[in-house]
């Protein structure tokens, strides 16, 4: 399968500004390769760096240092390290919009848009014409009868399915999901994960899902990204992820 994202030597440091070393955090990714169709799990308890890793992969956090990072777009490979060095923020935003989909833990739906417009927003921002993708994805996720509703009219599980639909409707090569089932009961969690995996299979989309529910992701065939946390208890926290 073709590579979507390949990076090595990424570090992101966050210092709280206090004088205590224990308040600082560093994310370190020695190497991470993501291919189309991959199902990768980012596991660990709260505060272990899972969301920071996903935000970094989503091009939302500028690395403190980076050896190499290549993301494949429809026009070929892009050197992300070079773009960061050149402060080419506009190009980075375009790559993020075209290649990536992101399911936030809270859903992140816009309250003033109905379901149809929430799902179609990434496509409109990319200038894609209407082609039935919004309706097809909504039907697959069984929310097609809710397209005219506002987010406030939906259940928690329905809002999460809308968030997934929005993340995939523009055909990204990689979908990142941060605790997509954390607010759901067991039955809805199983349903949402089944639908997310089904979409990934249908479109050969790579999935990277952060969760504390290892048994759930294991049942759906996710492979764990290796993860260890060093420090704590008065020392700076150092989280390492690689595959």
pLDDT tens across 142-193, in order? 899 999 999 999 998 899 889 999 999 999 999 999 998 887 888 888 988 9
CB-CB contact of 16 with 228 (8 Å): no
Maximum CA pair distance of the chain? Answer: 55
Q: Is the pLDDT of residue 230 over 60?
A: yes
Please tell me the pTM assigned to this model: 0.90
Please state, in angstroms and rounded to a whole number, the distance separating the CA atoms of residues 124 and 45.
Answer: 36
pLDDT tens across 106-125, in order? 778 999 999 999 999 999 99
Grade residue 242 by pLDDT with cuts at 50, 70 and 90. Answer: confident
Please state, in angstroms and rounded to a whole number, the distance separating the CA atoms of residues 191 and 101.
Answer: 20
The structural domains of the chain, ordered by start, are 3-242 (3.40.50.300)
Per-residue pLDDT, averaged over 182-205, amounts to 86
Pairing of strands 100-103, 174-178: parallel
CA 187 to chain centre: 23
Q: What does the pLDDT read at residue 1? A: 58
Grade residue 218 by pLDDT with cuts at 50, 70 and 90. Answer: very high
Type and span of the H or E element at 183:
none
DSSP letters spanning 48-92: SSHHHHHHHHTT-S--SB-SEEEEEETTEEEEHHHHHHTT-HHHH
pLDDT tens across 12-68, in order? 998 765 544 556 889 999 999 999 999 999 988 777 889 999 999 999 999 999 999
């Amino acid at each position: 399968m073709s590579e979507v994202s390949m990076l090595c030597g990424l570090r992101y440091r966050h210092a709280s500004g206090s004088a205590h070393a224990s308040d600082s955090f560093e994310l370190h990714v020695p190497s991470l390769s993501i291919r189309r169709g991959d199902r990768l799990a980012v596991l660990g308890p709260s505060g272990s760096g899972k969301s920071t890793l996903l935000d970094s992969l989503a091009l939302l956090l500028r690395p403190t240092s980076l050896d190499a990072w290549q993301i494949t777009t429809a026009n070929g490979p892009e050197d992300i390290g070079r773009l960061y060095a050149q402060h080419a923020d506009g190009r980075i935003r375009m790559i993020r919009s075209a290649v990536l989909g992101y399911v936030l833990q809270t859903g992140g739906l816009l309250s003033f848009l109905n379901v149809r417009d929430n799902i179609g927003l990434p496509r409109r921002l990319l200038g894609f014409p209407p082609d039935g993708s919004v309706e097809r994805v909504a039907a697959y996720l069984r929310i097609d009868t809710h397209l005219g509703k506002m987010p406030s009219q939906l259940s928690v599980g329905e809002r999460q399915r809308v968030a997934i639909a929005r993340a995939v409707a523009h055909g990204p090569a990689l979908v990142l999901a941060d605790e997509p089932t954390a607010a759901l009961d067991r039955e809805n969690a199983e349903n949402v994960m089944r639908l997310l995996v089904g979409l990934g299979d249908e479109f050969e989309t790579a999935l990277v899902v952060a969760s504390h529910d290892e048994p759930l992701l294991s049942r759906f065939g996710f492979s764990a990204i290796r993860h260890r946390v060093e420090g704590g208890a008065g020392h700076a926290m150092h989280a390492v992820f690689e595959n």
